[in-house]
Amino acid sequence: MPSPCNKLKLLRKAAKPPITIRALAEAIDMPASSYAFYEDMNRFKKKYLPLELTRKIAAVLMNHQINPEDILALSGLTSYELKTEISAIRQIMPPIQFVKMNMALPNETLLAEMFEDLLADLDLNAPKKEIAYNLAQHLPEALSETARKIPDKIH
């Protein structure tokens, strides 16, 4: 069986939007150098990745359009075990995001600029589902950024 290192690296790089080693390591609460060890087939010599590690990575990459089954399979689970693990991951994922913002909505001009910026980084030939997912991921941050352009005191 080939090393799981290359497959893990390919899955991380296939994430939408792509995620760096540092960002993924931070998301799973691990030093970047420790995470990088698992992507280095010259250093990680085992046949399978640790199950707890794959659980954490799968939960993060699932939010980046990576099938959690592909990550969990790197731990050597059977197909039945994979289904059980995926079910458990989906149950702990919150169905909504909570964003706390005290803001007035910007005017049409600022909103249009915000949407132009959001769309500028997207492949508009991609499937609509992918475009919608990317917009949903970046909308909270874009709204916060746009809100900073509104004066604190409006007369």
**Residue linked to tokens 């690296």:** 9
Chain segment 124-153, per-residue pLDDT in tens: 888 888 888 888 888 878 877 777 776 665
- Rounded CA-CA distance 18/2 in Å is 24
- State the average pLDDT over residues 65-93: 85
Residue 71's pLDDT is 93
- Assign domain 4-92 to a CATH class: mainly alpha
Q: Which pLDDT value is given to residue 135?
A: 86
Q: How confident is the model at residue 155 (pLDDT cuts 50, 70, 90)?
A: very low
Q: What is the pTM of this model?
A: 0.58
Q: Provide the pLDDT confidence category of residue 39 given band limits of 50, 70 and 90.
A: very high
Residue count of the chain: 155
The domains of the chain are located at 4-92, 95-155
